[in-house]
Structure 1
Amino acid sequence: MGAGLSAIWPTPGPSHARTLVGVDRNSPRFQTVTGLVAISSGAAFTLTWIVDIVVLSEYVPAASLATWLPVILTGPLTAVIALGLPRSAGLVTRVVAAVAASMTLTVWCLATDADLQWWGALESCGLLFLAVRTTASSWLPARATVYTLVVATTILMLPLRSGSWNAFVGGGYVLTVALSVCVAVGCAIRAQERRRERAVHDVRQAERLALARDLHDLIAHHMTGIIVQAHAALSVQATAPHKLEPILRTIAGSGTRTLESMRRLVRVLREDNHAALRPGDLLTELGDLVSAYSAAGDDGTVRAARLEVTAAARTVVLSPEIEISVERLVREALTNVGRHAPGARATVRLDADSEWLRVMVTNTAPFHRATAPVGGRGGFGLLGLRERLEALDGTFGVGPTAEGGWQVEAAFPLSAPTDLKTARPTLV
């Protein structure tokens, strides 16, 4: 089913393969749209094929076997290729195969004077579909232009099969208009894709800069403590030297944590693709978020949520940057539940083992589907969370639940990546 939509929308690079203008390509809604496009495309090609057969059977008397070649051979072949089949073949391979088959038949007609009374509507539609594909592709502009010109030339040569000047002029005019529309559609899709890429880049850049600012503030906090403790050590050096050892141990621990935060900061700033405050007690802040969500919404909808924290999660020691990220993840997830699933019950759950902290926000199916999200449509909150999790060497996943609700899940490492003994958790 995915071939239909991918046939008219260029495939993104791996860095943003899941998100399209804030829409998850693996979400049920996107998969539904993909299936509808595939079904409608197949239906359109099938109806066009029936038109080909009816035209030759009813309106072209005594059609020769050669006249049937575009209907029984090149037409179906081009339609299958235009639908993105076989999926293992790339766009270049499919375009070359369709152009080669069509041009071979056209050149054969010119070389043998085999005048075809009908050049094939199905083949024409398939090639026009490929023209949209090549124009909208994510290739460099020069490469996309070359392939589009090749497909356009193949399309405009189709009327030559008739051997009639009038048919060539009339058919060429119709195909030129259709080709212009297809190229314009392809250019519009290509421009939209470029805008999406810029928007995704801006969101990633903003989130990484926000994380860098958070880490900068945390490093400043650690360094302030080190300086204060060092001054205290100098003060007691002469009068109470036996108190130096615990102070020096505290300084060493603070320095280690500062170095870890500094390494994260440098790694984030080195990546081309990004007024922070140190949060208070994480569980208290999460409790406040859940309580605020449970209050009645602006539209009078009563919302319910609860916070579940396992004993292991209560005793785990978290770095400040992970505390900040957990708070932001829960805030964004609850905000999305309130906007997209009015009346749904939400559950925030924290669990931990020796190496990972798992955070999961799940909501039930809404009582009714809002025609538009409350407060308007957002866009890039989940994308920003994914970028933040990746910068912290965590994992992130979203997806539907079996009961019709939605789930946002993340796993944060509790130690440095090189110290992890277990594989990354598999999320939704």
Structure 2
Amino acid sequence: MTSTSTRPAWGSRFNRFTMRLLKIGIIGLLLLVLAMEMVSHAPERKPPIFSWVAWVEVAVSLFVIFVYFWYQPGRKRWIAAASIASLVATVLDLFYDQGIRGVGTAELLALGLLMLFAVRHWDAPPGRWVAYATGAAAMLIGVARLYGNELQDAAIGGTLLTGMALTTVIGFGSYLRSMDKLRRETQEEVRQAERLELAREMHDFVAHHVTGMVVLAQAAQVTNTDPKQAFADIEEAGLAALTSMRRMVKMLRNDDAGAGTNPLGDLAQIEDLVERFNREGTDTTCFISPELAGSTVAPEIAATAHRIVREALTNVRKHARGATRVRVVVAAASGNGLEVSVRDDGRAARGRLADSGGGLGLLGLGERVEAVGGQLRAQPRPEGGWETAAWLPRAAAEAQPQH
């Protein structure tokens, strides 16, 4: 378990280290290009270090590189500031020509990287205009670098090349944006599925306790039960229902509730479940195989077994007329699994209580059993009564959906 659980953490750390190393390498390359631009010059021209305009462009280039290095998702205001500063510096270079080749290649490359972020986080504040401003700043630098070039074809070709490179960046940013959207939608679907599952669990909890309260109230009307004892039993069932409901509602409100948070019981709590059912007037016995105790059964399998028993006992109350005996068995089965069975000797019920949501519990129960790789059957017994039984795998590794 230790080696399996640590792999994702080490993988995540390695990915973060790789991305950080890549960003440092890109920053180093941009700074090297900027330094080379400041000292390189044509034979008939002075190097840019002798131009105050070039130093303004260097300051702007460093600012753009700084924004790229410290950028965090959604902070597009810094991209907007870098784009506006770049536009101002480039216009200044175009109108104040000192006969010295300008500086801007490193700035152009950094703006291309910021353009990727601006498109990827398209809807982040201050708005979509940031992407247009960044694109305009990058294109203007490309034009400025070729301004006054004696070779007209080279100037046109360079402009087209800059536009194509910018289009490629926009396309890749759009792809990343679509992947981010797909990831968010998938996460929302998973969260919604978990909430629907919890809602089904709430049905089982509430139906179990409320149906017990109804049965207790009906029994008190037709028997000579002590009213104080009857009310005490109803109060206990009501408090249990409220506790279960509060727990489920709390989980439904918790956005961070993961799949590992399980509101259900385990094998040890099945006996308590049967004992409560037995106190309500039906002769109920329970047998749990000793070899299933301890850690031989995965928690999600034990929780599913608990739910099977709870749903079956709820159905006995609602649908089994005249049931006098209920037998609950949780035993080891072939194929490294376990079998959970609940059998009664009652007859099919009729009336309002039988029609209040019949079938919904078994439908949700079937989905849960199949989700952990098990098989469920619910059918009449040949000798009379009803049987709800399921085969479940013991190990968590085997608890996978079957296709």
TM-score by length of 1: 0.53
Q: Does 1:72 align with 2:77?
A: no
Q: Does 1:33 align with 2:20?
A: no
* Cα distance in 2 between the residues matched to 1:90 and 1:43: 23
Q: Which amino acid aligns with 2:58?
A: I
Q: Does 1:256 align with 2:261?
A: no
Q: CA deviation at 1:248?
A: 1.2
Q: CA deviation at 1:260?
A: 3.8
Spell out the pairing of 1:332-343 with structure 2 (5 A cutoff): none
Q: Does 1:152 align with 2:135?
A: yes
Spell out the pairing of 1:220-259 with structure 2 (5 A cutoff): 220-237=207-224, 243-259=226-242
Spell out the pairing of 1:330-409 with structure 2 (5 A cutoff): none
Q: 1:59 to 1:288 in 2, by over 3 A?
A: farther
* Cα distance in 2 between the residues matched to 1:227 and 1:213: 21
Q: CA deviation at 1:224?
A: 2.0
Query: For structure 2, which runs of at least 5 residues remain unmatched after alignment?
Result: 1-5, 258-262, 271-287, 308-403
Equivalent residue, structure 2, for 1:290: 295
Q: In structure 1, the residue corresponding to 2:70 is in which secondary structure? A: coil
Q: In structure 2, the residue corresponding to 1:117 is in which secondary structure? A: coil
* Cα distance in 2 between the residues matched to 1:137 and 1:225: 54
* Cα distance in 2 between the residues matched to 1:134 and 1:224: 57
TM-score by length of 2: 0.56
Q: 1:126 to 1:257 in 2, by over 3 A?
A: same
* Cα distance in 2 between the residues matched to 1:277 and 1:39: 46
Spell out the pairing of 1:92-171 with structure 2 (5 A cutoff): 92-114=76-98, 116-137=100-121, 139=123, 143-144=127-128, 146-162=129-145, 163-164=147-148, 166=152, 168-171=155-158
Contact 2:116 2:173 (C-alpha < 8 Å) held by counterparts: yes
* Cα distance in 1 between the residues matched to 2:66 and 2:200: 52
Larger RCO (alpha carbons 8 Å, 6+ apart): 1
* Cα distance in 2 between the residues matched to 1:111 and 1:289: 82
Between the aligned residues of both structures, percent identity stands at 22
Over residues 5-34 of structure 1, what are the superposed CA-to-partner deviations in whole Å (9 max), with x where a residue is unaligned? xxxxxxxxxxxxxxxxxxx9x945334322
Q: Which amino acid aligns with 2:27?
A: F
Q: CA deviation at 1:215?
A: 1.4
Equivalent residue, structure 1, for 2:320: none
Q: 1:134 to 1:205 in 2, by over 3 A?
A: same
Query: For structure 1, which runs of at least 5 residues remain unmatched after alignment?
Result: 1-23, 294-304, 306-319, 325-428
Contact 2:122 2:131 (C-alpha < 8 Å) held by counterparts: no
Q: Does 1:43 align with 2:25?
A: yes
Q: CA deviation at 1:290?
A: 3.1
Q: CA deviation at 1:267?
A: 6.7
Q: Which amino acid aligns with 1:41?
A: K
Q: 1:133 to 1:288 in 2, by over 3 A?
A: farther
Q: Which amino acid aligns with 2:80?
A: V
Q: Which amino acid aligns with 2:18?
A: L
Q: Which amino acid aligns with 2:240?
A: R
Q: In structure 2, the residue corresponding to 1:291 is in which secondary structure? A: coil
* Cα distance in 1 between the residues matched to 2:242 and 2:148: 80
Contact 1:137 1:190 (C-alpha < 8 Å) held by counterparts: yes
Q: Which one of the candidate residues 139, 164, 167 is aligned to 1:180? A: 167
* Cα distance in 2 between the residues matched to 1:90 and 1:209: 31
Q: CA deviation at 1:282?
A: 4.7
Contact 2:38 2:103 (C-alpha < 8 Å) held by counterparts: no
CA RMSD of aligned residues (A): 4.0
Once the two structures are overlaid, the 10-residue window that deviates more, 63-72 or 221-230, is: 63-72
Contact 1:236 1:244 (C-alpha < 8 Å) held by counterparts: no
Q: CA deviation at 1:46?
A: 1.4
Over residues 323-349 of structure 1, what are the superposed CA-to-partner deviations in whole Å (9 max), with x where a residue is unaligned? 87xxxxxxxxxxxxxxxxxxxxxxxxx
Q: Which amino acid aligns with 2:295?
A: V
* Cα distance in 2 between the residues matched to 1:208 and 1:197: 16
Q: 1:202 to 1:140 in 2, by over 3 A?
A: same
Q: 1:121 to 1:94 in 2, by over 3 A?
A: same
